[in-house]
Amino acid sequence: MTHPLLSERAAFLAQRPRNRMSALAAKYQDVIGLSRGDPDLPTPPHIVEAAYRAARDGQTHYTPTLGIVPLREAISAKLRRENGVDYGADEVMITSGGQEAICVVMQSILNPGDEVILPSPTYTSYVLAAQLAGGVPVQVPLNRDQGFQLDLAEVERRITPRTKAIVVVSPNNPTGTVLSREALEGVADMARRHNLLVISDEIYEKILFDGATHHSIASFPEMQPRTIIVNGFSKAYSMTGWRAGREGRALDLHVCPRPACRPGRPHRAAGLPGGNPVHLRTPPDVAALRHPCGEPAHHAPRWERVRLRGCPWT
């Protein structure tokens, strides 16, 4: 029961299945949480040091709305180096975590009634962010017998004249599935034929097991102009707890459609909802991206335990 003076939106948020499920799960001991992915590793020391240094150096003021230039440049270089995509620093936007990026993207691309195709199950925030933007989430069930890979025919069947975008989350939360190159090529083909955007959530790109390879769909022919990459530092650099600043969110993320396809360039949706990224967080993020290999020896057994492949912060 919500307060009568609260908005309908607040009442809607209060009823989120995820909240109800979490409240229910809290009553049991043997429940495995499959909502937010939180690597059980501490943040690498060189990143923590960079935060100390930034605080001591007085980097405690407002930052530009789109984020500090050195971080946007470091992300642009990372995208070129690791993902084979060429987004300039001016096309990178820093947000308060992947969570905010998802909201900003939905607010930026959806008009009321526009549809977004989402895999199901997937990270629940996508459904909510689309709904809060007035959009309609259209879910495509992932089949366990098919290894939770996307069934391209099922995706195509759901495309209508109102479809704006297809969301791909690979590696996926909660299934862990890494989409095959063929599946991504199929999505790219549909996006080109139906003139759709692709929102590519690559936040787990460094958490790969059993020889799996991550491909960014933005690197496929003609896909860069119609792809918005959502990524962040929480998972790859064990920085989930670095939630700071307004509304208690961490800040990071790269989001970047190119000028050719900026129907509503995610421009922090006019400065909302996060304002500007937290200054103390951004120098450590730069450190994370620039450090050659931050994996200290004492992390090794834990990496082993969570089966992380290789050094995620090279």
Distance CA 59, CA 230 (A): 26
Contact 277, 92 (CB under 8 A): no
Say if strands 197-201 and 227-230 run parallel, antiparallel, or are unpaired. Answer: parallel
Binds ligand PLP by CB under 6 A, chosen from 91, 201, 205, 285: 201
Distance CA 169, CA 179 (A): 8
Nearer to ligand PLP, 34 or 189 (CB): 34
Site string for ligand PLP, 150-189 (x = CB under 6 A): -------------------x---x----------------
CA dihedral (32, 34, 35, 36) positive or negative: positive
Contact 129, 137 (CB under 8 A): no
Give yes or no for residue 97 binding ligand PLP (CB under 6 A): yes
Crossing angle between the packed helical segments 45-56 and 282-290, to the nearest 10 degrees: 140
If you search the block for the tokens 């691309």, which residue do you land on?
A: 109
Binds ligand PLP by CB under 6 A, chosen from 99, 108, 200, 276: 99
Which range touches ligand PLP (CB under 6 A), out of 14-22, 94-102, 156-164, 298-306? 94-102
Q: How far apart are CB 48 and ligand PLP at their closest, in Å?
A: 17
Give yes or no for residue 232 binding ligand PLP (CB under 6 A): yes
List binders of ligand PLP among 243-282 (CB under 6 A).
250
Helix (H), strand (E), coil (C) string for 243-292: CCCHHHCCCECCCCCCHHHCCCCCCHHHHCCCCCCCHHHHHHHHHHHHCC
Peptide bond into 119 cis (omega under 30): no
Closest by CA to 86, choosing from 233, 224, 287, 204, is 224
Q: How far apart are CB 215 and ligand PLP at their closest, in Å?
A: 16
Q: How far apart are CB 184 and ligand PLP at their closest, in Å?
A: 16
Give yes or no for residue 202 binding ligand PLP (CB under 6 A): no
List binders of ligand PLP among 106-125 (CB under 6 A).
123
Q: How far apart are CB 14 and ligand PLP at their closest, in Å?
A: 20
Nearer to ligand PLP, 226 or 235 (CB): 235
Q: How far apart are CB 33 and ligand PLP at their closest, in Å?
A: 10
Helix (H), strand (E), coil (C) string for 252-265: ECCCCCCHHHCCCC
| Number of residues binding to ligand PLP, judged by CB under 6 A | 14
Nearer to ligand PLP, 97 or 257 (CB): 97
Contact 188, 158 (CB under 8 A): no
Binds ligand PLP by CB under 6 A, chosen from 37, 42, 70, 264: 37
Nearer to ligand PLP, 156 or 275 (CB): 275
Whole-number Cα distances in Å, 232 to 92, 171, 285, 289, 298: 12, 13, 9, 11, 24
Q: How far apart are CB 160 and ligand PLP at their closest, in Å?
A: 25
Q: Which residues bind ligand PLP (CB under 6 A)?
A: 36-37, 97-99, 123, 169, 173, 201, 203, 232, 234, 240, 250
